[in-house]
Amino acid sequence: MSTPDVDVVVVGAGPAGSCAAIVAARAGLSVVLLERGPFPGSKNMYGGVVYPRILDGLIPNWWEEAPIQRWVTRRSTMLLTDTQALTVDFRSEAWGQPPYNGATAFRPDWDHWLASHAEAAGAQLLTDTTVVGLLRDAGGAVTGVRTDRPDGDLTARVVIACDGVNSFLAKEAGLYEHTDAKHFTLGVKETLALPKEVIDERFAVRERHGVDIEILGGTGKVNGGGFLYTGLDTLAVGVVLKLPKLAAQQQRPEQIIAGLKQHPAIAPLVQGAELKEYSAHLIPEAGLTMMPKMTMPGMLVAGDAAALCLAAGIWLEGVNFAMASGMYAAEAAVEAVQKGDTSATGLAGYQRRLSDTFVLKDHRKLRRAPELVLSDRVQHLYPTMVANVVERMFHVDNPNPKPGVRRILDQERRKAGVRRRDLLRDGWTGFRSFG
């Protein structure tokens, strides 16, 4: 067999790909990082919260240079009906100091920054280059990639596929047993411009502190959820919609965002803002249910390509899982290249690392959460029931005396059409997931 062009080809310069390239290049391997866009991040639309603590070991004091918008010091979970809002709001000043917790960031900036570290480590970044297929040997092992450029074949000892949610490489390799629209949601986002001072005042934050609001309800008859994040002088407001429901309801996503922005609890926050950008992206939300096989001879799959996105209602995390999986994939690739064994056995360290860390531990623990959160009862019955309970609890209806909470709960449960055994079952599922 001829000598491969490079040790490692990383496909996709997103968080997973760049972290993989950093680790592999620092280990002394020759690395090519391929990106289809004109620069890393140019194809991304994510405008949410990044939890970068996984970078502590990779880029010490990353917070001193990372291109963040605001550090999230307020975390709110909002439950909406058409006319009601119940918000659990938490604030911590500790999250506004090193080593911080989460931060809002624009992925074009974030990915560009991470890729610059990969280049500094010695990886060769090639942009405007789309990988269109895999090169394989007679035994089926991956031996490189084919790009859309003339003379576009690039051979490698290991290919790390970080090519995003619709990973054509993982599909071509047969690593996805099946893909189903019900495993995906559509994330749709508007970026709205407001002066920083206005955002600070409306969201009660100062300096670089920011707010992360996760919303249950507010998406009409389409199952999903909403979000509102503060950038420095922008807001990211959007919805995440279950695909089959969206198709069945024949609604356009922008109509649903418009509805969310008109909600009495949201409208004052976004009033007067100027629309700067509208974008949409698929999200692999089904967790373990949809994860592909992540290792095959000569290739590893990481990030969204491996469906490593945690969508568990109150936890919506993807970038940290992507960065971690990219790092672990590269560590396994380094081991395999150094041993001269890039077979599935030689690359098994990847799966072991995923299993031993939060990447798969969190997914296992929360494996029932995505289905529960997107279920019809949680989406359409419980918000009304809970909001009505709270409204009656705090409604002063003198001269009538205050009713007991248990009585209100039972009345509202029946009014909402929720069966007691379903409530208990969902409660138990939620407890097992989140407890």
Partner 1 sequence: MSIVACLKWVSHPGEPHDERFAGMSPADQSALEFALRQAALLGTGVTAITVGPSGADKVLRDALACGATRAIRIEAPTTAAGTDVATAIADHIADAEWVWCGDYSLDRGAGSVPAFIAAHLGAEQALGVIHVDLEADGVRATRRLDGGRRELLGVRSPAVVSVEGATARLRRAGLQSLRTAADTVIEVVPATTPIHRAEFMVRPYRPRARELPAPAGDSPLDRLRLLTDAAAASAARGEMVTLEPADAAARIVQVLTDWGYLPHG
- The residues of the shown chain that bind partner 1, judged by CB under 8 A, are 32, 38-39, 42, 108, 112, 124, 126, 129, 147, 149-154
Q: Judging by beta carbons within 10 Å of its beta carbon (0-12, 13-18, 19+), is residue 365 exposed, middle or buried?
A: middle
CB of 77 to partner 1, least distance (A): 35
CB of 185 to partner 1, least distance (A): 29
CB of 129 to partner 1, least distance (A): 7
Tell me how far apart the alpha carbons of residues 25 and 32 are, in angstroms, rounded to a whole number: 9
Inter-residue long-range contacts of 75-78, CB under 8 Å, 24+ positions, other chains counted: 75/102, 75/211, 75/212, 76/211, 76/212, 76/213, 76/214, 77/213, 77/214, 77/215, 77/216, 77/314, 78/213, 78/214, 78/215, 78/216, 78/218, 78/226, 78/265
Which residue blocks in 74-133 are alpha helix, DSSP H?
107-121
Which residue blocks in 196-318 are alpha helix, DSSP H?
196-203, 243-249, 253-262, 267-270
Which residue, 84 or 147, is less far from partner 1 as judged by CB? 147
Do 114 and 19 contact (CB within 8 A), yes or no? yes
Which residue, 126 or 282, is less far from partner 1 as judged by CB? 126
Q: Which residues pair with 91 in a beta bridge?
A: 74
Q: Phi and psi (nearest 5°) for 348?
A: -65, -20
Q: Phi and psi (nearest 5°) for 417?
A: 80, 30
Which residue, 109 or 172, is less far from partner 1 as judged by CB? 109
Q: Judging by beta carbons within 10 Å of its beta carbon (0-12, 13-18, 19+), is residue 78 exposed, middle or buried?
A: buried
Q: Which two tokens stand for residue 177?
A: 């047993």
Which residue, 53 or 149, is less far from partner 1 as judged by CB? 149
Which residue, 30 or 351, is less far from partner 1 as judged by CB? 30
CB of 152 to partner 1, least distance (A): 5
CB of 211 to partner 1, least distance (A): 27
Which residue, 125 or 240, is less far from partner 1 as judged by CB? 125
CB of 79 to partner 1, least distance (A): 39
Which residue, 149 or 182, is less far from partner 1 as judged by CB? 149
Which residue, 64 or 151, is less far from partner 1 as judged by CB? 151
Beta-sheet pairing, 142-147 with 131-136? antiparallel
CB of 54 to partner 1, least distance (A): 25
CB of 109 to partner 1, least distance (A): 9
Tell me how far apart the alpha carbons of residues 272 and 44 are, in angstroms, rounded to a whole number: 26
Burial 165-196 (b: 16+ CB within 10 A, else e): bebbbbebbebbeebeebbbbbbbbbbbebee
Tell me how far apart the alpha carbons of residues 152 and 131 are, in angstroms, rounded to a whole number: 9
CB of 142 to partner 1, least distance (A): 17
Tell me how far apart the alpha carbons of residues 159 and 172 are, in angstroms, rounded to a whole number: 13
Which residue, 152 or 244, is less far from partner 1 as judged by CB? 152
